[in-house]
Amino acid sequence: MKRAVNITEIKSARTADSYYKIDHPSGLTVFVYPKEGYKSSYAIIGTRYGSVNTCFSLDGGEKITVPDGIAHYLEHKLFESEDGDAFARYAETGASANAYTSFEKTCYLFSCTDRFDDSLQILLDFVQSPYFTAETVAKEQGIIGQEIKMYDDSPDWRVMFNMLESMYHNHPVKIDIAGTVESIAEITAEKLYDCYNTFYNLNNMVLCAAGNVTVEQVTAICDKMLKPCEKHTIESFFEDEPYEIVKPYVEQSFPVSVPIFNLGFKERADRPLNERELAQTDILLEMIGSSTSELYQQMMDDGLINSSFTFELFEGPGYRAVIFGGESRAPRQAAEAIKQYISRLKSEGLDREDFETAKKAVYGDVISSLNSVSSIANMVSGFWFNGNDIAAYTDAVAEADFDGVQKRLADMLDVGNCTLSVVKNGEEQHGV
């Protein structure tokens, strides 16, 4: 007897949008976000499995340890089958497809303006049809090895990982997502199947489709394509990570015209932030680092930064940091200016007018993102990975109060627990 599909409508009074959560009998969580009048569609399926999940157990069994970079390797290999390549199948439907592996998840996606049903069937087919052999695994090692070397030659990539290596003692977030040439040499078809069978269980995955789609359309394809999965308990293991950073400064020479810096504030990460905390954090960082902030304007006037300046909340299982970065001819001075500004805010308190401006900006960004089908699908699925909801987050931003953001500042951005990473031309000195 076929199990019923449980569909929940989620309405947002603030955006006038409705979207739908489907608890599919296969175990997969599905979100459908129809956008009336849109011609394009976008779908993404992801698994809660990223580069940091290298030590795990299934249903309380023995710990399994796999080589660094295997999640990314698996992403590459999953596109292949005995019958050919998924990209070739997408070429026939006209869809544009891609995939990526991050620290905490692996996702596969496509966008299209036509033949959505056919493209979604391809997506759901190949993510459920692994095909690994010793020969195909060995063939991929050279390709991924070249990719690793390419990223090693990227100053933006190196400045980030140098920072992470200087912040984290034990957590695997400090290890390159693709692993090393040495670690991927240890990957076998058997190990790929171990990881696939553990993490690519539909109960550990999420699908989101947005744009010119309907609930009935997506549900029908899921009913046709999905193979029911037994739910299992997956546990990932991480070594204890001290709160304190490893070291406050790291530098690497690179042929860059202007030095690049990342200033990372290491945060406590005992649990994921909820929607209210996320909203408060985003408003706070907007107050500190946006182009309208006092800090930004002062650093621009002093020639410490340029328009490349960025800020972000960086978090996942067992790690969290706030990162400021960009180009600077005087990165040490830029970092010091950021730390002094944060210290002043902690001492003197936030400005209420700045709070209102930042709150409106963050809310505006969320609302404007709902005009893009790719942004919608990525946000809805992204919030799911941390147990959060985009509608609840939107409400939390709209309802955020000054005192809550002030308290959030007191709980984070410890200026005594941050790392500055600099990449600069070794032949020049730029105030570093």
Q: Which of 181, 201, 169, 409 is nearest to 285 (CA)?
A: 409
Sign of torsion over alpha carbons 347, 344, 419, 158? positive
Q: Which helix (H) or strand (E) covers residue 324, if one does?
A: strand 319-327
**How many Å apart are CA 47 and CA 43, to the nearest integer?**
14
Q: Quickly list DSSP for 69-87.
A: THHHHHHHHHTEETTEEHH
| 154 phi and psi angles, rounded to 5 deg | -95, 115
Query: Which is nearest to 250 in space by CA: 427, 428, 430, 422?
Result: 422
Could you give the angle at which helices 390-399 and 373-385 cross, rounded to 10 degrees? Answer: 90
Q: Tell the burial category of 219 from Cβ atoms under 10 Å away from its Cβ (0-12, 13-18, 19+).
A: middle
Q: Which amino acid is at 197?
A: N
Q: Report the residue count for the chain.
A: 432
Helix axes 86-93, 116-126, angle to 10 degrees: 170
Instruction: Collect all residues with Cβ–Cβ distance below 8 Å to 319 and sequence separation of at least 6.
Output: 52, 103, 168, 171, 173, 241, 269
Amino acid at 56: F
Of 203, 185, 188, 286, nearest to 25 by C-alpha is: 203
Geometric angle at alpha carbon 35, from 224 and 119, rounded to 5°: 35
- What is the pairing mode between strands 418-424 and 249-253? parallel
Helix (H, G, I), strand (E, B) or coil at 101: strand
User: What is the distance of C-alpha 386 from the center of its chain?
Assistant: 11
Catalytic positions, please? Answer: 75
**Matching residue, tokens 């692994």:** 130
